[in-house]
Structure 1
């Protein structure tokens, strides 16, 4: 049975190594969010560096998740002192559990404050796609999918929760999300 890969990417206003209270708050909330999400039904795992300091992404050992990569539009630092990004790469059993983990609970609370920490994006902040059972998506897969989503919109191989696709490539909807027919946009 295929699994859902989910890649998220955001550019922070300040480097992760910045000792300001706001950056420390983001880091602390992030640690709590990771702990909660790892206990969520449908969660299978996420890319974690074998070892590293706060803000260490580039050059870290990510094991089966591959070499760390970022979208072409990321133009900030790449050292532990200057990295200003937050990103995740995770695997889920299906769309619904991933959606619920992202848009409920502690993660939802953090999303409500995202502009305290993140620059306002001109690009998508996440992308999903299906991988075969036993496959581990790589950072480069996530970057390629996010860039494709930005350039071409949702497709069976790179989509959002609101414009999602089933593993066979047919359009699908997660019940109770997306615009209602009576809403005007």
Structure 2
């Protein structure tokens, strides 16, 4: 049975190494959100670096998730001191559980604060696609799907929750009321 891959990407206003209260708050919220999402029904796995420290993304060992990659439009630093991005790569059983995890609870609260932490851009900040059972998506998969979504809009290859597709490529809609989040 196929699984849903979900890649998120955002450019932060400040580097991850910034010692200020806004960055500390982002980390604290992020850690709580990760714990909660990891317990969410339908969650299967997420990319985690082997022994990675805060901000150590490019040099980290990501195992089966592949070499770390970012979209072409990311133009900030790539060192522990200068990296200014937040990104996730995860696997889910289906669209609905992933949607619910993103748009309810602690993650919803964090989304409401996103412009305190993230730059506004004309680029999508997430993309979904289907992978075969047993396949682990890579960072490069996520980047190429996000760039495809930006260039071509939602398609079976790369889509959003609002304009989603079933594994066989047919349009799939989550309940209309749930999609009124604007994402």
TM superposition score normalised by structure 2 = 0.97
CA distance in structure 1 between the aligned counterparts of 2:179 and 2:44, rounded to whole angstroms: 25
CA distance in structure 1 between the aligned counterparts of 2:133 and 2:160, rounded to whole angstroms: 20
Shift of 1:142: 0.1
Superposed CA deviations along residues 123-144 of structure 1, whole A, max 9, x for unmatched, are: 0000000000000000000000
Q: What stretches of structure 2 of length at least 5 have no aligned partner? A: none
Shift of 1:177: 2.8
Shift of 1:10: 0.1
CA distance in structure 1 between the aligned counterparts of 2:59 and 2:22, rounded to whole angstroms: 26
CA distance in structure 1 between the aligned counterparts of 2:128 and 2:11, rounded to whole angstroms: 19
Superposed CA deviations along residues 14-71 of structure 1, whole A, max 9, x for unmatched, are: 0000000000100110000000000000000000000121111001000000000000
Other-structure match for 1:41? 41
Matched pairs, number: 179
- Secondary structure, aligned partner of 2:157: coil
- Superposition pairs for residues 128-167 of structure 1, below 5 Å? 128-167=128-167
- Superposition pairs for residues 106-145 of structure 1, below 5 Å? 106-145=106-145
Other-structure match for 2:72? 72
Q: What stretches of structure 1 of length at least 5 have no aligned partner? A: 180-185
CA distance in structure 2 between the aligned counterparts of 1:111 and 1:121, rounded to whole angstroms: 15
- Secondary structure, aligned partner of 1:177: helix
CA distance in structure 2 between the aligned counterparts of 1:103 and 1:43, rounded to whole angstroms: 14
Give yes or no for the alignment of 1:177 onto 2:149: no
Shift of 1:178: 2.9
Shift of 1:121: 1.8
Superposed CA deviations along residues 69-89 of structure 1, whole A, max 9, x for unmatched, are: 000000000000000000000
Other-structure match for 1:52? 52
CA distance in structure 2 between the aligned counterparts of 1:178 and 1:26, rounded to whole angstroms: 26
Runs of 4 or more, structure 1, over 6 Å off, are none
Give yes or no for the alignment of 1:102 onto 2:84: no
Other-structure match for 1:10? 10
Other-structure match for 1:81? 81
- Secondary structure, aligned partner of 1:9: strand
